[in-house]
């Protein structure tokens, strides 16, 4: 039998990461970028061109490899995709 433990709202906090809050915000921003791309029905290549980012970098971002990408860059991506506050 497997023991199941209820976690927090953040998997990063559950893993004990020192920058858990920052990682959670980044994950939310990545999700917003992904949803904006889907909403606009863009291919990853089209989105990469709009964002001014190489396709491999966008691919990594959308697959959860976002540690090297600042939150400011993610906000810029959202702006370029037409997501304004």
Task: Return d(Cα 74, Cα 15) in angstroms, integer.
Answer: 24
What local confidence, expressed as pLDDT, does residue 3 receive?
Answer: 77
Tens of pLDDT, residue by residue over 55-65, are: 999 999 999 99
Please return the burial class of 8, using the count of CB atoms within 10 Å of its CB with bins 0-12, 13-18 and 19+.
exposed
Tens of pLDDT, residue by residue over 7-33, are: 666 766 666 667 778 888 999 999 999
What local confidence, expressed as pLDDT, does residue 1 receive?
Answer: 78
What local confidence, expressed as pLDDT, does residue 2 receive?
Answer: 81
Tens of pLDDT, residue by residue over 29-54, are: 999 999 999 999 999 999 999 999 99
Task: Return d(Cα 50, Cα 44) in angstroms, integer.
Answer: 10
Closest CA to 75 of 30, 45, 41: 30
Per-domain boundaries in the chain: 19-80
Q: What is the CATH number of domain 19-80?
A: 1.10.260.40
């Amino acid at each position: 039998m497997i023991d199941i433990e209820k976690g927090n709202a953040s998997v990063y906090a559950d893993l004990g990461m020192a920058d858990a809050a920052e990682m959670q915000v980044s994950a939310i921003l990545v999700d917003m970028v992904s949803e904006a791309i889907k909403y606009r029905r863009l291919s990853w290549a089209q989105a990469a061109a709009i964002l001014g980012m190489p396709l491999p970098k966008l691919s990594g971002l959308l697959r959860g490899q976002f540690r090297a990408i600042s939150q400011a860059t993610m906000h810029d991506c959202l702006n370029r995709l037409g997501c304004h506050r």
